[in-house]
Amino acid sequence: MTSIDPPRPLTMRRERPFRLTRRPEERVRLLGAVMDLVRAEEVFHFVAGRLAAGEKTLVANHNLHSLYLIQRHEPMRRFFERAHLVEVDSMPLIFWARLMGRRSRKFHRCTYLDWREDFWATAVAQGWRVFFVGGRPAVAEAARARILAQWPAATLETHSGYFDHTPGSPDSEALLQRLDAYKPDILFVGMGMPVQEVWLLDNYDRLPTCAMFPLGGAFDYEAGVQKQSPRLLGQLGLEWLFRLYMDPRRLFHRYCVEPCYLIWPAMRDIISRFGDRSNARASMSPQGETASPRLANLRSGSAP
């Protein structure tokens, strides 16, 4: 089995406080969906603030696969509508955001494999109780053992993702009872899209007050049963190519067919961007200054 990359030194900085609210430019609409351009430390600060206030929190993540699914799967649309924060888990999507003029701040994709070291360090410092649902029984336990070997002070329990997910089923009821007794601060669910999102949506009102994250196959990487893409490929936006090479039968449709369904949303983004430019040019005065009440006051010498 192949382990994930060795931990890097913590790079998260605390010199300035992080905000619980977003700037307007951080919540954007791209390819027909709303998402938040946030860094990992801002996610943790947002979650810590919500936990301190006793508020249940749903942190979702968008990639090209999820953007395809929300077009064809109504529960997925409702899941993202309910989410309090939506991370961007895709470098191609980040590149598209930059092409569409989202250059106001430097940002990167925000996903578990990128922020795991910072997360577990924060979880230990905050005393967060973490519960993971997903994977095969042996995989979940192997991931837990590896995490606790690296962070012995972490509090983590796991439950296999192989159970009857039907609402009201004995399996699901037993898991909900276990979660209610454990009272996690953080609930990770890794059962793949859209199963994990639908399970969270179906059981949201009965889950304890905590922060919930769908994680996909992240704990498979923790356990070493999945090989992690070289970090350079991830930074270049080519991680999908590595995964396709490793598992072409399962991932061909996701990486080679599904993006075709995003052509029309992409065209809408392009039309919107250039339409905004045209409107901005139309609103300029002959001298190249934007006509506005404030500028009119300044020209006339009156107070704004």
**CA gap 206, 177 in Å, rounded:** 10
Q: Is 224 exposed, middle or buried (0-12, 13-18, 19+ CB in 10 A)?
A: middle
- Note the pLDDT tens digit of each residue in 80-110: 999 999 999 888 888 888 888 876 456 667 8
- Note the pLDDT tens digit of each residue in 143-188: 999 999 999 999 999 999 999 999 999 999 999 999 999 999 999 9
| Better-predicted residue by pLDDT, 289 or 46 | 46
Q: What is the mean pLDDT of residues 284-292?
A: 45
Q: What is the mean pLDDT of residues 265-284?
A: 73
Query: Is the per-residue pLDDT at 136 higher than 60?
Result: yes
**CA gap 111, 155 in Å, rounded:** 21
The DSSP output letter for 226 is S
Asked whether 184 and 208 are in contact (CB, 8 A), the reply is yes
**CA gap 11, 185 in Å, rounded:** 24
Task: State the pLDDT at residue 106.
Answer: 60
Q: Is 146 exposed, middle or buried (0-12, 13-18, 19+ CB in 10 A)?
A: middle
| Better-predicted residue by pLDDT, 176 or 302 | 176
**CA gap 161, 184 in Å, rounded:** 17
Place of tokens 């649902």: 133
Q: Is 225 exposed, middle or buried (0-12, 13-18, 19+ CB in 10 A)?
A: middle
With cut-offs at 50, 70 and 90, classify the pLDDT of residue 4. Answer: very low
Tokens of 38: 């946030």
Task: State the pLDDT at residue 146.
Answer: 93
Cis ω before 17 (30° cut-off from 0): no
Task: State the pLDDT at residue 255.
Answer: 81
**CA gap 162, 145 in Å, rounded:** 19
Cis ω before 170 (30° cut-off from 0): no
- Note the pLDDT tens digit of each residue in 203-236: 999 999 999 999 988 888 888 776 666 766 666 6
- Note the pLDDT tens digit of each residue in 5-49: 443 333 333 434 445 555 656 788 999 999 988 888 888 889 999
Q: Which region holds residue 32: left if phi is over 0, alpha if psi is between -120 and 50, else beta?
A: left
The DSSP output letter for 171 is H
How do the domains of the chain map onto residue ranges? 24-240
- Note the pLDDT tens digit of each residue in 243-274: 777 788 887 888 888 889 999 999 999 998 88
